[in-house]
Amino acid sequence: MGVPVLLSSMALAPAQAAPAQGSTTAAIKKTLDPQAYKDGRYIVVLAEKPAATYDGGTPGYAATKPQAGKKLDVRRNEVQRYQSHLQQQQREVAARENVSIKRDFTAALNGFSANLTAEQAVNLAKNPKVLLVAPDTQRSPDYSTTDFLKLSGPGGLWETRFGGKANAGAGTVVGVIDTGYTPSSAFFTGEPVQPLSGNPQVGVPYRTADGKIAMLKADGDTFVGECQTGQDFDGTACNSKVLSAHYFADAFLETVPEEHRAPQERISPVDVDSHGTHTASTAAGNSDVEATVDGRSFGITSGVAPAAKLSIYKVCWEDDDPNTGGCYGSASVDAIDQAIADGVDVLNYSISGSTDTTTDPVSLAFLSAASAGIFVAVSAGNSGPTAGTVNHGAPWLTTVAASSFSQELQGTVEFSDGSKYRGASIMNAEVHDAGVVLSANAASGTGNAAICAPGSLDPAAIAGKVVVCDRGVVDRVAKSAEVKRGGGVGMILVNLASSSLDTDKHSVPTVHVNPPATGEIKQKVAANPALTVSLIDHDTTGLPLEAQPQIAGFSSRGPLAASDSDLLKPDVAAPGVAVLAGVSPIGTGGDSFGFLSGTSMASPHIAGFGALILAKNPTWSPATVKSAMMTTASDVVNADGSKNTDVFATGAGHIDAARVLDPGLVYDASTEDYLKFIQGTGVDLGIPGLGSTEARNMNVPSFALGNLAGKITVTRTLTALTPGVYRASASVPGINVKITPSVLSFDAAGQKKSFKVTFENKNVALAKFAMGSLKWEGAGKSVVSPVAVRPQSVIAGRDLSFTSDQADGSAAISILSGTDSATAVTLDGLSKANSTATELVPGPAAFANDDSNVLVDAEVAEGAALAKFSVISADAQADFDLYVFTPSGELLSAATASASESLSIENPEAGTYTVLANLFASPDNRPTKASVDAAILGSNEGNATVTPNPIKLKNGKKGQITLAWTGLEPGSYIGRLSFEGTSSPTFVSVIIAADGAVAVAPEQQLGGAPAGEKLQVGERVLPDNAG
């Protein structure tokens, strides 16, 4: 409720005289009409001045009115004392009429809101302490991301830029690959689809002769889909909104026995989890849907592209084991294939992906989708704020970070000592003056009481009290359920480290807080057992609201490891914190709407924008759509309103609906460009004459260099949508940036022109990223790209291998210097591997010790810097493959056509690794000898040196250092070279062959590649294409 609501309420109130100026209270002459009051919700305004205007006069309370030009400081003791006094007066006034206060106000207004009978309203209005009693005029809360994005409402961007709400996204189909959907949701209602009468009309579905649903799209193509029947889904639910629904359950059914499938799961497109319903309704749900959560209305909401149609692809499944079930990669590939065949325009994929490769099977399937003209939005991941955690690094994907957008959903923890703490809450009832206890001090002796695990709290210790519960391990809503089980009346959920604040539907009134409030609350409660607390359903702190939008703490950050940090991800940000949308009644106990947070919630906003854009510009390529979003993005801010300049958090910035249709220039890319990029990563596609493109030269609307030494020049090509003369500028503090040419003139739309950008370190700290932007301005447009550049002291190979038959020897390592200063080198190792000799014959890979396979276990201790696993062939013409099972059950593979294979894992998890070596092929199928090695990096072993040390080379100059070893016995060894001022080390492998023996050095593979799905409990599953 804001000031306009209050003023309109006051205008409707009976006329009353104001108190005399200069006094705190005064006798008020009132003329009341009892007929003006009816049963309902009212705002009761007391005559005593609020804190913002109180200039003294009440005995014992100093003036709180701020000086001219200053703001009210609610942290001042005198302000808090006076506000507490006002609250006490309000309670006394309310108590005389047996009124329960809903909300209280003390800063801008001295009053409270309450549900009143007509008699209570009249009596309160007669009270000399009351200034007025006014109807609390209802307004829909401003809690919709479409409101925040300025799409909805009179004069909103749907109306002014996208043809009105009824046409926003018309003629497009958004495919959602997720957990399915809820056919009964108001977001997905539609009319029955009839057979075609006359000619097809854009955006109007019709039934085909074989019963499928077809629609002529804005791009002139025709979508054709069907409703796949399944459990509790007879295929009739598809309508004029949801044109198609498929499910892909083969992998789930094959790997999860029926008795271990979640009892509520439906083998059909029906969603039992809520995730898919939420993402689909966010992207393209119907408009004008009133959303109610826990009996509380949050007003009217809508999907981003309400006139777009939906096609559902269910690939994620529920079972009784968190390590199985889930979203199968093979199912996702199937779904992408189906979506391409159906003819969708946009795909949303709010499912996790790889952080260390851009060419996994799902990513390559999405390349096919992009090649078919489909815009693909994907979630960046929820592993922030840790650096290097961003998912989905491929340039043909639009990777979306999550932002906050509103602070309306807040509650307050009010202690009897006057202190207040605000946090996230959607409670529909308040708690007043209850006792409070730390959950750890109310243990039942079963389970972890600190986290309020089920059964962990002692009812005798918490009955009638508010319980402080730590976040973690147990589901948040399970914590409040445990509080309720024990008779607790409320919960303060505390984050032990700063993280998301979540608006869950709890079993008892709950406020969710972050540090530093966490520590202060716990210390306060522990120190004073007599303390009482109230949980209020709104913010009473009076503290200023934080600026919006901010990047969510959980949103995954760059840099992107998959491209050696030469691609910038994420691409763009969108709302992803406490997003209100549809949920599944099956998975929520009957709810139809709910708040969810995650980059999963941000991605469908961008998918919806893809539909909005393609409805207006159906010939735009997916890369053009992505470029328009990125180069027109607005600022993401910090809490104080300053710009967030961390482009690894924000990408290009926040989606800006007002500018996205008119970017001026775009960075376009074709299928051939993407194929060249793939070859640039080292994958040979076998396409004659294709060539390759380095990641840093991929034509994307961003610039990233993970390893800058000397000068590096990259190339981009712009395509004009608005002809004109454009001038370039760049701002990357500490980096010299030269753009050639710096002026480009475009004579016609569609014209392409290229430019080069040269980066050189000026004074940026080594091994740290400098961030900024590059901008083209002209024709009334501003085309802005994010930039991230990291200077390094030395650039050398990442993973090097050397073979010798000499116990004493040396090898030269080529380097490039990135500084004029001397660079010290630290050597760890060389550490000898444990070796297991074997001789195998060709055969299929299997988790067994047999003629074609050998299994070796290796222990990795806590804190190891590197674990390296190898199979070293004695025959250069053979083909050994290597599979490594991690302690957590992940399968990594190195299964190329090379004779030997190797996997290096930096900072490996501690535990037992199982190494499987398989002989896939050999000349004439003859038996072949090999060594299976497991090496764990230790400290300097005293058996090797590096010279020169320190390195002295001018910035940009090439040179060599020498690794020399002495007294090495036959076997394999690993070491690490750390260069001062370089962010990543160089790992080396030295193989010493026994007299007369042959050892084929493996091609190095750092980190490994995921092989197939996660392992199922009780079995080891190998990929189909082993070898």
The vertex-638 CA angle with 505 and 785, nearest 5°, equals: 115
- Provide the token pair at 19: 């108190």
Q: Is position 654 annotated as part of the catalytic site?
A: no
- Helix, strand, coil percentages for the chain (3-state, nearest 5): 20, 35, 50
The two beta strands, 398-403 and 375-379, are parallel
| Whole-number Å distance between alpha carbons of 723 and 750 | 9
Cβ neighbours of 441 (radius 10 Å) = 16
C-alpha 460/C-alpha 643 separation (Å) is 50
Report helix, strand or coil for 592.
Answer: coil
Chain centroid offset of residue 892 CA: 25
Residue 364: DSSP 8-state: H
> In the annotation, is 178 catalytic?
yes
Whose CA is closest to 19, among 61, 64, 60, 50? 50
Helix, strand counts (H, E) of the chain: 17, 53
Q: Which of 275, 512, 538, 654 is catalytic?
A: 275
Phi-psi region of 433 (alpha: psi -120 to 50; beta: other; left: phi over 0): left
Annotated active-site residue 246? The verdict is no
Report the distance separating Cα 336 and Cα 311, nearest Å.
12
Active-site annotation holder among 147, 178, 334, 539: 178
Set 600, 627, 904, 931: catalytic member: 600
Q: Taking Cα atoms as reference points, which of 303, 301, 304, 298 lies closest to residue 140?
A: 298
Residues 786, 792, 796, 798, Cα dihedral to 10°: -60
Contact 789, 769 (CB under 8 A): yes
Count of other CB atoms within 10 angstroms of residue 212: 18
- The closest alpha carbon to 343, from 196, 243, 227, belongs to 243
Tokens 């070893």 -> residue? 965
Residue 375: which of 653, 624, 145 has the closest Cα? 624
**Alpha-carbon span 571 to 715, nearest angstrom:** 19
DSSP 247-308: E--HHHHHHS-GGGB-TT--SSSB-SSSHHHHHHHHHHPPSSEEEEETTEEEEEE--SSTTS
Tokens of 274: 């809520």
Give the pair of three-digit tokens for residue 694. Answer: 């380095």
3-state secondary structure of 990: strand
Nearest to 755 by CA among 718, 787, 729: 718
* H/E stretch holding 872: strand 866-873
Q: Return the active site residues.
A: 178, 275, 600
